[in-house]
Amino acid sequence: MAHEHGELTVVGKPLPRRDALEKVTGKAQYPTDLELPGMLYAKILRSPYAHAKILSIDTSKAEAYPGVEAVITFKDIPDRRYGYGLNDQPMLARGKVRYVGEPVAAVAARDLDTAEEALELIDVKYEELPAVYDVEEAFKPDCPVVIHEDYANYELTFFPPAKMDVKRPNVANHFIIRRGDVEEGFKEADYVLEGKFRTPRQQHVPMEPHAAMARIENDGSVTVWASSQQPYLLINQISTLLDIPPSKIRVIVPYLGGGFGNKTQLKAEGICIALAQKTGKPVKCVFTREEVNCGTTSRGGTVSRIKMGVKKDGKVVAMECEILYSSGAYSGDAFVYSTRGPFQAAGTYKIPNLKLDSYLVYVNEPVSGAFRGFGNPELNWGIEIMMNRAADMIGMDRAKFRKINLLREGDEGGFGEIMHSLGTEECLEKTLRELSWEEELRKKEGIWRKGKGIAVGNKYSIAPSASYATVKVHVDGTIEVRISAIEIGQGSTTILAQIAAEYFGLPLEKIKMVVADTAVTPFDFGTVSSRVTYHVGNAILKACEGLKRQICELAARKMDVKPEDLDVKGRKIFSKHDPSKKIGIEDLFSPTLGMGHIGKYAEVGGELIQSATFFSKMGKMDPATNQLLNKHEKSCSFWIEIANGAIVDVDTETGEVKVRKFVNACDVGRAINPMLVEGQLDGGSVMGIGLGLWEEMIFKDGRIMNSNFIDYKLPRASDLPAVKDTVSIIVETPHREGPYGAKGVGEATMICAPAAIADAIHDATGVWITELPMTSEKLYYLLHKKA
């Protein structure tokens, strides 16, 4: 949506968060804080095996245990499966278990201790089956372990439908890009290089674990309080699993204590509902940290192979990628990210010949799923190392090499679409300046070496997707905005209020935000894919435009002028020709009999209320190539471009790496609230550095070995560069359809960090690490092997 906007007074300002006071005073309510009178506490019995047949479940002892009000197993619920594209996952294991941590039964008891004790009284008999954990093993056509014998009967709900003609027993999804002719490209190239890359499982580690509470209403409908980034998706999954019509499911999402993609799919909500239905009482379930780690999703590991053909003049002429995404035991939202992670290969460079195959592969591990970046950091990791290796090979400066190949405004991207709002070069330039790219670093000798590295990348935002907004004028001139965007810590409620405030020329406190209660707030695709500012912001603007029309029509009648001659600013409606001719918003409301000046209705229109949808369409693609049939259509809603830079010190004796400076530059279109955008960039840097250097979930026989924060190493402040050396740079290339030009930011900020650090390590030491995380152990091994 295009917006003519003069001087902005609210948008673009680093206004304080609306939720700041509530949060710092501890008053804010999170799902874990919720209480209802008479509520029961639920605990989940999880599989101890990575792959096993369930022979029998005996719940009688648990049911008889004092304080236990209900026990459920698969027998208590419909035989349904859920997913996000492919319905392959049961809510409670049925027939067999496929990972350590899979829910098998659940208990509702009067207190938490009783619920925990009762779990031990449930007698499940298993017959262990051979399992497969390695994604390359599982990918083999002749893999002896078949995790989903029934795959062919699962319901595929993905839109547009995925293409699945792969004859490998554990492949859950296959996505392709075919552009040009890579074989011809490689022939044309002066150099062809190949690489193989690995990325690990990473946990989101939201500060707040997952919680859910369910209550059955008197009409049989269900109210669920959920840790959900996608309340309307949750309605879908609950409805699918428990056979409850969507109109009878209400999802309320309070503040969330972080998500990063970990709170997209159904977690404990369905179990709470089934237990509430059985007991007639509200049921609450809060995951332990161990359950967050083994019983929710994480970033799945990948193995990728990349082949690149370059010419001496610096042009990349061909790229072939194969990436295996580890799905864990079910497809979860990995189904979609195995089709969207590959977008990384399509949105940064102008590569005429591109061939990509992305596979989602089942293994006997916990389910993987959405995680900031949604499959893109994994592919960026390999591509950017290849870019650096290629630059070295032709003896060209790595930055210059990238600039030759960057997609620019009007170019065709990897899906054949005309690209727009690409600030990659500006991001890169600003990053280089921060790194003093031209200056040689000292300390290229001795034990401690220094290096500089860069990486660029992109994050698409998903299409098709829709957001809906309702705006209402209150009699006191307050504008109420009803949306289902989730305040997950990113500040969306503040940013979206700024958009409405800017539109009406009101101070922020005159905007009332009503968020995320599906009984009140309208459809939204969800707080995913860095899409909220753009989609929900646009829906709000469209609704505001309609509301302004209503206001002007009503005012025109009172003022005896034409509606088109009027404008609204602050709480005044005035003639554009003669601004002294004006009335107040409150004058639109007439006193109702006996209700005085406040209990009023807006004349004629009743309430002044307006709704609107914003819908991002995905263009039709040729299924044989995934090239757009019309290059003026879009493969995604918008592209966010990013450049990262790192300066590292490496101890060549021990392999220890210290990031001394980190630069994160991102083209966000327009920063509606620069303070909050900087927060995203700072946070993304930390998360990206963590993925680069330390974070990895370690499994043995399908069992997580480091489910605590001593063994799972999250970056601490002392591990990171100083605050002054963690540089976040906002680049603004306004998007013609964005609200006030804004695109998104959240996910892009962690795409390139590992590759930039790898480049800096190589610069310091001359070795390439191709497996994440780049631990001291790995570097030590490589350095000493090299020596």
Segment 574 to 603, residues that bind its own copies, using CB under 8 A: 590-599, 601, 603
| Residue closer to its own copies (CB basis): 16 or 245 | 245
Asked whether position 20 contacts its own copies by CB under 8 A, the answer is no
Residue appearing with tokens 């390695």? 134
Query: Which residue in the set 6, 130, 144, 606 belongs to the binding site for its own copies (CB under 8 A)?
Result: 606
Report the DSSP pairing between strands 596-602 and 582-584: unpaired
Number of amino acids touching its own copies (CB under 8 A)? 71
Asked whether position 269 contacts its own copies by CB under 8 A, the answer is no
Task: Produce one character per residue of 676-695: b if its CB has 16 or more CB atoms within 10 Å, e if not.
Answer: bbbbbbbbbbbbbbbbbbbb
Query: Which residue in the set 77, 121, 172, 233 belongs to the binding site for its own copies (CB under 8 A)?
Result: 233
Window 608-637: residues binding its own copies (CB under 8 A) = 609, 611-613, 615, 618
Residue 233: CB minimum distance to its own copies, A:
5
Asked whether position 239 contacts its own copies by CB under 8 A, the answer is yes
Report the DSSP pairing between strands 249-252 and 283-286: unpaired
DSSP-derived secondary structure for 690-722: HHHHT----EETTEES--STTTS-PPPGGGS--
Asked whether position 240 contacts its own copies by CB under 8 A, the answer is yes
Rounded to whole angstroms, the Cα distance separating 113 from 126 reads: 26
Provide the mask over 503-532, with x wherever binding to its own copies is found by CB under 8 A and - wherever it is not: ---------x-x----xx-xx-x-------
Residue appearing with tokens 């804010």? 28
Rounded to whole angstroms, the Cα distance separating 681 from 503 reads: 27
Rounded to whole angstroms, the Cα distance separating 83 from 81 reads: 7
Asked whether position 85 contacts its own copies by CB under 8 A, the answer is yes
Residue 514: CB minimum distance to its own copies, A:
7
DSSP-derived secondary structure for 406-457: B--TT-B-TTSPBP----HHHHHHHHHHHHTTTSPPS--SSSEEEEEEEEEE
| Residue closer to its own copies (CB basis): 264 or 388 | 264
Asked whether position 32 contacts its own copies by CB under 8 A, the answer is no
Tell me 579's DSSP state: T
Provide the mask over 318-347, with x wherever binding to its own copies is found by CB under 8 A and - wherever it is not: ---------------x-xx-----------
Rounded to whole angstroms, the Cα distance separating 361 from 170 reads: 6
Asked whether position 177 contacts its own copies by CB under 8 A, the answer is no
Rounded to whole angstroms, the Cα distance separating 665 from 318 reads: 27
Query: Which residue in the set 8, 64, 447, 604 belongs to the binding site for its own copies (CB under 8 A)?
Result: 604
Residue 370: CB minimum distance to its own copies, A:
10
Burial class, 519, CB count within 10 angstroms (exposed 0-12 / middle 13-18 / buried 19+): exposed
| Residue closer to its own copies (CB basis): 294 or 547 | 547
| Residue closer to its own copies (CB basis): 90 or 382 | 90
Rounded to whole angstroms, the Cα distance separating 424 from 347 reads: 10
Query: Residue 195 forms beta bridges with which residues?
Result: 306
Provide the mask over 184-223, with x wherever binding to its own copies is found by CB under 8 A and - wherever it is not: ----------------------------------xx----
Q: At 194, list the tokens.
A: 């190949």
Query: Which residue in the set 78, 141, 246, 623 belongs to the binding site for its own copies (CB under 8 A)?
Result: 246
Residue 342: CB minimum distance to its own copies, A:
15
Window 745-774: residues binding its own copies (CB under 8 A) = none
Residue 595: CB minimum distance to its own copies, A:
5
Query: Which residue in the set 236, 288, 706, 776 belongs to the binding site for its own copies (CB under 8 A)?
Result: 236
| Residue closer to its own copies (CB basis): 340 or 762 | 340
DSSP-derived secondary structure for 166-199: ---TTEEEEEEEEES-HHHHHHH-SEEEEEEEEE
Window 454-483: residues binding its own copies (CB under 8 A) = 462-466, 468, 474-476, 478, 480
| Residue closer to its own copies (CB basis): 475 or 583 | 475
Residue appearing with tokens 């209480």? 35
Residue 238: CB minimum distance to its own copies, A:
9
Query: Residue 517 forms beta bridges with which residues?
Result: 252
